[in-house]
């Protein structure tokens, strides 16, 4: 098999051939869940609407509480990058609007590419 040493090449070839609209990728969810729960706790401590301080019983509980927790939310990624709540983000400069060129000028979009990849590496895949 030509892809034994480089599984990413196999993945990229398949994506290039099929050009899917959506890709499901299964990875260990705990590093992202922990970061996501940290941001939820931060929002709760600042008494933002829809966040409860007591909502997270165990920060490091390896059980996914709902399917929404396992879905990567780009607003959470922006919150993690800025280490701030969603109320204090400039969405036009974040990765959550990366896929919407009508919300970002071309220069901002192009400048975000490396930060977008870095954010995925640091906060979702976790190296």
* Residue 39 near residue 79, CB atoms below 8 Å: yes
Q: Any idea what the Cα angle at residue 38 is, between residues 76 and 27, rounded to 5°?
A: 65
Helix residue ranges per DSSP H, the chain: 7-18, 30-45, 74-82, 106-120
Write out pLDDT tens, residues 28-86: 778 888 888 888 888 888 887 777 666 666 666 777 777 777 778 888 888 888 888 88
Instruction: Name the average pLDDT for the chain.
Output: 78
Length of the chain: 127
Spatial CB neighbours of 87, under 8 Å, sequence gap ≥ 6: 48
Q: Residue 57 has which token pair?
A: 């019983």
pLDDT band (50, 70, 90) for residue 126:
confident
Domain boundaries along the sequence of the chain = 29-125
């Amino acid at each position: 098999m030509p892809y034994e040493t480089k599984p990413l090449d196999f993945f990229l070839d398949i994506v290039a051939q099929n050009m899917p609209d959506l890709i499901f990728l299964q990875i260990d969810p705990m590093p992202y869940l922990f970061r996501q729960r940290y941001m939820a706790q931060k929002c709760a401590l600042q008494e933002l609407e829809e966040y409860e301080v007591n909502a997270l019983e165990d920060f490091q509980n390896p059980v996914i509480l709902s399917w929404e927790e396992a879905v990567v939310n780009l607003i959470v990624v922006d919150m993690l990058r800025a280490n701030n709540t969603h109320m204090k983000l400039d969405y036009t400069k974040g990765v959550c609007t990366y896929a919407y060129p009508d919300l970002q000028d071309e220069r901002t979009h192009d400048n975000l590419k490396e930060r977008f990849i870095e954010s995925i590496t640091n906060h979702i895949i976790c190296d």
